A and B are shown apart, each in its own frame.
Chain A
């Protein structure tokens, strides 16, 4: 156990060291030195992965808040807090990523004073800013509970309906507007991915990713923390994921059909290979897997299907932001290692912060329980879970 911990610590330190070196290059030698971005490829891996995928992977927050607080699906209660934590960290790290990618990050606040309401980027910026604030408030009760501050919890509870509605509204707006960003480039983005329906795809896929991400993160943290995994929750999420994947797949099919693309997407080409990869990972394989009841009822099966679909949607975002431009530009873009290392550093920071938060804050009420259980065996076992499941409200 201890050796394994040290191994991961070493990995973490190596990633951080390389990342810090890249940070130094970024801020002392400029974007040209740290990345392979150019006048032909003004947006690179940081936009494609850190921003587009980062925001997409943080969608679990609004999905779970929506399911539990908006639709009152009580059974999913135990996954709300980790989902909100993931989303909050995701958005914070997205902003960190933005500070690397923006040419003049010290003027990021200009967004607040020089507003251009016609700009999709403006909408994205404002939504991300306000939604991060909303997530902060949704996350705060964890801290208050930790220090047993009853009064502020009451205040937050009072504004909770507003926070919930605002959070989902803002998520709808900017998950979709990340797709709208690309609407202004009909002549540049490859027709496989350029579609007037891009904003709908981005939103619909964010919902699917939110579900897949929640399955992934519950399974992962259960493994890491030695927690008991609630299969009933995962099964519910898996069922919802299957529906969400079908909806996404049908939307994409409709779009290809209406734009007369069906024949072209079947013809082998550079873009077609990437499209096939994307469609296989995001739809074909996970839908096939989840169609088996056996898979839908097994934690490993659900985990596998979720992770595959996550890779599929990540491929989708990278196709839209990078691959889809290569034919237009006329050459390939391959990120420099320093670009990767910054991204890795940000991801590592995310994992570390998640670990710290889980350790010190009541994110998983069950987890404290299992410790208690191990110190005082047998006594609490049957009483616990239903009681503590709602402990944090």
Chain B
């Protein structure tokens, strides 16, 4: 079963320790200036967005059927069986189709680099495969970000809503969105107000299906279309041959 993160925004106190732990884990600099940036970038893979007294965390959603992985022409991005969507920089050619394809706009780019990488949260795959939790979940002082089995976390999220219905919107963001994600969000305010795409807009259909419907026809299309084209070629040239032969016969006949 795949691992996941449950982020409960009602428990979050906006301490931004997850940001710092994430930066350390990914060898990125973190300082006061970066801490005030409330948007993600190649040097800030997760961020806490503050609106009044409410907080919301943004990070890669680690979709069950990731658009980025299906879009990548060289398979640099892929879904691991443990849950994380990881990135092999040595395969990447820099086409940035992943960035355009991602419904959550998570992949970011090193625009200033001469050998740029795509950067996004990769859910600490080394730690996860070693049986540890992600850096952000480990450091979170209130348990707002919790690491675990996806199914267990869904159960827990439902329990929290049931026990405290006045605290939460009755919804787990990421449960079914684009076919389900490995980041699940509980909140009192609408996640859409913090930059997340509306559920209705992205839908429950996994994004790769939209291109898959066309791509799955390609293997059949190639032989069929080749035959059709070859047939047209043969017929049109055969007609010419016949016409020429007839003309030839005629001239021969008349000369005799």
Given contacts A28-B114, A120-B215, A169-B226, contact A103 B94 (CB under 8 A): yes
Given contacts A165-B229, A169-B225, contact A118 B70 (CB under 8 A): yes
For B57, list chain A residues within 8 Å (CB): none
Q: Which of B103-129 contact A (CB under 8 A)?
A: 103, 105, 108-109, 111-116
For B40, list chain A residues within 8 Å (CB): 39
Q: Which of B221-244 contact A (CB under 8 A)?
A: 221-222, 225-226, 229-230, 232-233, 236-237, 239-240
Task: Find out whether the CB atom of B233 lies under 8 angstroms from the CB atom of A70.
Answer: yes
Q: Which of A172-187 contact B (CB under 8 A)?
A: 172-173, 177, 180-181, 183-187
Instruction: Report if A264 contacts B (CB, 8 A).
Output: no
Task: Find out whether the CB atom of B93 lies under 8 angstroms from the CB atom of A104.
Answer: yes
Task: Find out whether the CB atom of B72 lies under 8 angstroms from the CB atom of A43.
Answer: no
Q: Which of B39-77 contact A (CB under 8 A)?
A: 40-42, 67, 70-76
Other-chain contact of A184, B208, B218, B236 (Cβ < 8 Å): B208
Other-chain contact of B233, A114, A165, A180 (Cβ < 8 Å): A165
For A31, list chain B residues within 8 Å (CB): 109, 111, 116
Task: Find out whether the CB atom of A104 lies under 8 angstroms from the CB atom of B116.
Answer: yes
Task: Find out whether the CB atom of A70 lies under 8 angstroms from the CB atom of B95.
Answer: no
Q: Which of B188-231 contact A (CB under 8 A)?
A: 197, 201-203, 207-208, 210-215, 218, 221-222, 225-226, 229-230
For A220, list chain B residues within 8 Å (CB): none
Task: Give bound CA distance, A95 to B67, whole Å.
Answer: 25
Other-chain contact of B75, A107, A114, A184 (Cβ < 8 Å): A114
Instruction: Report if A149 contacts B (CB, 8 A).
Output: no
Given contacts A71-B236, A72-B236, A165-B226, contact A110 B93 (CB under 8 A): yes
Task: Find out whether the CB atom of B74 lies under 8 angstroms from the CB atom of A115.
Answer: yes
Task: Find out whether the CB atom of A111 lies under 8 angstroms from the CB atom of B74.
Answer: yes
Could you say which interface size class chain A belongs to?
35 or more
Task: Find out whether the CB atom of B109 lies under 8 angstroms from the CB atom of A39.
Answer: yes
Task: Find out whether the CB atom of A187 lies under 8 angstroms from the CB atom of B105.
Answer: no
For B221, list chain A residues within 8 Å (CB): 173
Q: Which DSSP category, helix, strand, loop or mixed, fits chain A's interface?
A: helix
Task: Find out whether the CB atom of B73 lies under 8 angstroms from the CB atom of A122.
Answer: yes
Instruction: Report if B92 contacts A (CB, 8 A).
Output: yes
Task: Find out whether the CB atom of A164 lies under 8 angstroms from the CB atom of B112.
Answer: no
For B74, list chain A residues within 8 Å (CB): 110-111, 114-116, 122
For A108, list chain B residues within 8 Å (CB): 93
Instruction: Report if B183 contacts A (CB, 8 A).
Output: no
Task: Find out whether the CB atom of A33 lies under 8 angstroms from the CB atom of B112.
Answer: yes
Task: Give bound CA distance, A133 to B107, whole Å.
Answer: 33
Task: Find out whether the CB atom of B99 lies under 8 angstroms from the CB atom of A30.
Answer: no
For A43, list chain B residues within 8 Å (CB): 96, 99-100
For B248, list chain A residues within 8 Å (CB): none
Task: Give bound CA distance, A124 to B74, whole Å.
Answer: 12
Given contacts A28-B114, A104-B116, A187-B201, contact A181 B214 (CB under 8 A): no
Instruction: Report if A392 contacts B (CB, 8 A).
Output: no
Which 5 pairs between the two chains have the least Cβ-Cβ distance?
A103-B94, A32-B111, A42-B99, A72-B236, A121-B73
19 A-B residue pairings within 8 Å (CB atoms) = A29-B112, A30-B111, A31-B109, A32-B112, A39-B41, A43-B99, A103-B115, A104-B93, A114-B76, A116-B72, A118-B215, A121-B97, A123-B215, A169-B229, A181-B97, A184-B101, A184-B207, A187-B203, A196-B213
